[in-house]
Amino acid sequence: MVENGFTMFTFDPSEFVVNEADHISEAELDKSINNFNWKGLQSNINDLSTEYLAKEFTLSETLIIKSDLISLKRALVKYGNAIAHIKKLYDHLVTKYPDYNSEVEISVDETESVTTPFEHFFFVKELNRLGVKFISLAPRFIGDFEKGIDYKGDLDLFKQEYLKHLAITKYFGNYKISLHSGSDKFSVYKVIGSIKGAFTHIKTAGTSYLEALKVMAIKEPNFFREILEYCIALYDNEKKTYHVSADLNKIKSAKDYKDEELEPLFYDDNVRQVLHVTFGRILTDKTTNGEYKFKDRLLNYLITYEETYYEIIEIHFHKHLDPFK
C-alpha cells in the first residue's frame, strides 16, 4: 500500500476486542488480566489503577470521567489487547517507513459491545501514552450501524451519548470521531449536523459502490439481474464479517423482477445489504478460464455510462453532505 502511494491506514483490532467483558464476573476478568499482553501494553494493573482510580477528569460542564475498579477491569479486558495490537501495527508503520507522510484511523465499531464514555477515554489515553498518533477513531456507538442502511435506534439517546464522546475528543484535541460504518446514516447526520463543532469523518465507499450497481439496474437490467442472483446465493457466507440483518425471504429471484422494478430495489434495506456485503466477490471472482465473472463488464459499463454514474453519485454525496450545513 505504501509503495502504491496510499497514505491513510485503518487499524481495525476487532479480533482482539473482548465483547464478553461487559458481563462476565470479576473472577473471570481477573483471570483474563493475569494472562494479559502486558508487554505490548507497556504497563501493569497497579500503574493503571494509580492513573485512573480515585481521580476525576473534568471534560466539560456536563461530563466528568471517573472509574471504579470493576469498570477499569472491564475496559482493560475489552480493549487492552486491542490497544497493544494497534501499538504493534503503528510501530511497524513508522519504523519501516519513517519518512512517509501517513495517517492512521482506528476502528472498533465492527464489534457487538458498545463503547462507553469511560472506555473511549481509557482507549485514547492509553494510545497517547504509547505514542500512537491517529487522526480519527470509530467507537461502537449505541444503536445499530448496519452496513448500507440508515441508523436503527433512539436518536435522542444517540445524541446524548454522542455529545459525551465529542467532549472526549475535544479534551484530547488531536483526533475526530469517525463513523466507520457511516454510509447512508442520514438520520444520524442530521443529529451531528445540529451540534456545533462536531467534526466527523464519514465514509461513503460502500454505498458509492451500490450507486454504481444502480447504474447497471437502470442501463443494463439483465446484467444487474445476473449480479443480484449471484449475490443472493453468496449472502449467507459473506455476511459473517458484517453487521447486517437482511432477510433473504423478502427478496424475490432476480428473474422475477421487471425492468422498472430494479431501481426501486435500492430503497429496500434487504437488497441493499445483500449487494453491499458481496462487493468483494463481485469484483474478484473468476471463471474457470481465469476471466473475471463481473469486474471487467462492470467497469466497462461504468465507462460507457460515465455521465449517468456522475449524476447519480453527485446526488449521493449531497445526501451525505447537506445535513451538515
Tell me which residues of the chain have a pLDDT lower than 70: none
pLDDT in tens, 203-239: 888 889 999 999 999 999 999 999 999 999 999 999 9
Grid coordinates given for 207: 454505498
Collapse the DSSP code of 53 into the 3-class scheme (helix H, G, I; strand E, B; otherwise coil) and give the result: strand
Q: What is the pLDDT of residue 80?
A: 96
Instruction: Read off the pTM.
Output: 0.88
Name residue 58's amino acid.
T
Q: What is the pLDDT of residue 92?
A: 96
Please provide the DSSP assignment of 53-82 as one string: BT--EE-SSS-EE-B-HHHHHHHHHHHHHH
**297 — alpha (psi -120 to 50), left (phi > 0) or beta?**
alpha
Q: How far apart are CA 138 and CA 130, in angstroms?
A: 19
Q: What is the pLDDT of residue 8?
A: 94
Put the strands of the sheet holding 176-179 in their side by side order. 8-11, 103-107, 136-138, 176-179, 200-202
